[in-house]
Amino acid sequence: MFFKTSDGSFLDSNGKVLYFSTERFIRDICEGDCCFICGISRSETDFNDEHVLPKWILRKYNLYKQSITLPNETKFRYDKYVLPCCKQCNSLMGKKIEEPIRNLITQGFEAVAHHIEKKGYWLFFVWLSLIFFKTHLKGKSLRYYRDRRQEDYTLFDTYNWEELHHIHCVARSFYTGCKIDPKVMGSFLTISAKMDSTYQDFDYLDLHDSKTVLLRISDICFITVLNDSCRSLTPFKNYLERLSGEMSPLQLREVTAHLAFINLHLKERPKFFTMVDLHRKKHIMSAKCSDFVELDNYEQSEFGEILNFCCKEFLNVCNDENLEQIKEEVKQGKRTFLFDEDGNFNTNSFVPMT
Ligand SMILES: [Zn+2]
């Protein structure tokens, strides 16, 4: 039999938290220092460090001494970027998520695509939810202003934890065994990336407000929207149908910008919920959303802001002779790296880099 606690959380007969109420999630996970998967306190078991990006990626791409850009746009070294997690959950996460992912990715794009075709993208969606969640949970222990002379508040203060509650439920579903309704799955693209010696083999970008993530490992790129119930793909369909080849790192970032922008402008947002049957010991995560997708009003410059955020890291080191014009068009949301002047897929979109 399952039990409901006074704060609205659900536990199994062994006390395992199957569902954190928002109240308990904020108290124990966000503001507290409990294991971010099972919620156990530090005083009750052994903890060890969990890297925000898996160690095998840090090793393979020599990222230990490189930095991730945080939502406050400061940089933090990947090797220092760790979260407290209990040993048991760490090892379960390795077995259920990290090892199968590593196994598929090291076999290459075809193996990943084959897995997704046969079994769906749940494994990768949960993995990206975990990375996104860890990135943003970590913010609570980092000062917003890294310069200590400035006012002291953490990144945590700038987050809306309730919005992250749903992503946390998905991220720990490998632990809870919760059934997931397909409506919970967000937009997800697996794209073959075109490699070039001027770009790194690894790219990670997340947009906090739009809950959108890009992760590129060699020639495999995943782009997902974590909280849109696949709604963002409908308005993006016209673009998607014309994207007919391997994509450059800059093009992949533009795709991320489009999905992020659409997600922010969905007129009707999906509502996520978890249903628990105490007696039958079943729980399922689901979503309510209409089939009709409509966007609210927007200015093209709003898209430009997001496109600029996604592309500026590359454009800042670009040496194209028309760079200033390109940057201005990006800011206005009028520049595309995806298509040529005739509207066909641009197969030559590598911006010259310094
Ligand atoms: Zn744990």
Residues 193, 149, single domain; the answer is no
DSSP 187-214: PEEEEEBPP-TTS-SEEEEEETTTTEEE
Q: Is 279 left (phi over 0), alpha (psi -120 to 50) or beta?
A: alpha
pLDDT at 151: 53
Domains in the chain: how many in total?
2
pLDDT at 55: 86
- Secondary structure tally for the chain: helices H, strands E: 12, 14
- Contact indicator for 178, 283 with CB cutoff of 8 Å: yes
Give 14 Cα–ligand 1 centroid separation in angstroms: 14
pLDDT at 68: 72
pLDDT at 65: 77
Using a pLDDT cut of 90, give the percent of the chain over it.
Answer: 64
pLDDT at 157: 52
Residue 274: beta bridge partners? 285
Which residues are within 8 A (CB) of 170 and not within 5 positions of it... i.e. 6 or more apart? Answer: 125, 126, 129, 180, 184, 226, 285
- Contact indicator for 199, 191 with CB cutoff of 8 Å: no
Nearest Cα neighbor of 102 from 92, 110, 112, 116 is 112
Q: Which helix (H) or strand (E) holds 124?
A: helix 122-138
Residues 207, 158, single domain; the answer is no
pLDDT at 51: 87
d(CA 253, CA 223): 9
Give 116 Cα–ligand 1 centroid separation in angstroms: 28
pLDDT at 84: 80
pLDDT at 352: 55
Residues 50, 131, single domain; the answer is yes
Residues 72, 104, single domain; the answer is yes
The 10s digit of each residue's pLDDT in 77-124 is 777 777 889 999 999 999 999 999 999 999 999 999 999 999 999 999
Residues 173, 198, single domain; the answer is no
Give 54 Cα–ligand 1 centroid separation in angstroms: 17
Residues 138, 245, single domain; the answer is no
d(CA 194, CA 306): 23
Give 88 Cα–ligand 1 centroid separation in angstroms: 6
Residues 206, 228, single domain; the answer is yes
pLDDT at 341: 86
The 10s digit of each residue's pLDDT in 230-264 is 999 999 999 999 998 899 999 999 999 999 999 99
Give 34 Cα–ligand 1 centroid separation in angstroms: 8
Give 36 Cα–ligand 1 centroid separation in angstroms: 7
**pLDDT band at residue 30, thresholds of 50, 70 and 90?**
confident
Give 328 Cα–ligand 1 centroid separation in angstroms: 48
DSSP 236-295: THHHHTT--S-B-HHHHHHHHHHHHHHHHTBSS--EEEEEEETTTTEEEEEEE--S---B
The 10s digit of each residue's pLDDT in 148-181 is 445 555 554 555 677 789 999 999 999 999 999 9
Which residues are within 8 A (CB) of 165 and not within 5 positions of it... i.e. 6 or more apart? Answer: 20, 22, 25
DSSP state of 63: -
Last residue of a domain, which of 166, 183, 200? 183
Give 112 Cα–ligand 1 centroid separation in angstroms: 29
Last residue of a domain, which of 153, 183, 213? 183
Half-sphere exposure of 37 (CA within 13 A, CB side): 27
- Contact indicator for 49, 81 with CB cutoff of 8 Å: no
Give 163 Cα–ligand 1 centroid separation in angstroms: 22
pLDDT at 145: 42
Mean pLDDT of 123-152: 71
Residues 226, 322, single domain; the answer is yes
Last residue of a domain, which of 128, 155, 183? 183
* 95 vs 197, residue with greater confidence: 95
Mean pLDDT of 314-331: 87
Residues 260, 190, single domain; the answer is yes
Handedness of CA 111, 113, 114, 115 (dihedral sign): positive
* 68 vs 312, residue with greater confidence: 312
pLDDT at 70: 63
Residues 42, 167, single domain; the answer is yes
Q: Which amino acid type is present at position 122? A: W
Cα 31 to the center of its chain, rounded Å: 21
- pTM for the full model? 0.91
Residues 205, 271, single domain; the answer is yes
pLDDT at 60: 87
Domain span including residue 175: 1-183
Angle, in degrees to the nearest 10, between helices 122-138 and 99-107: 120
* 195 vs 126, residue with greater confidence: 126
d(CA 256, CA 347): 18
Residues 40, 125, single domain; the answer is yes
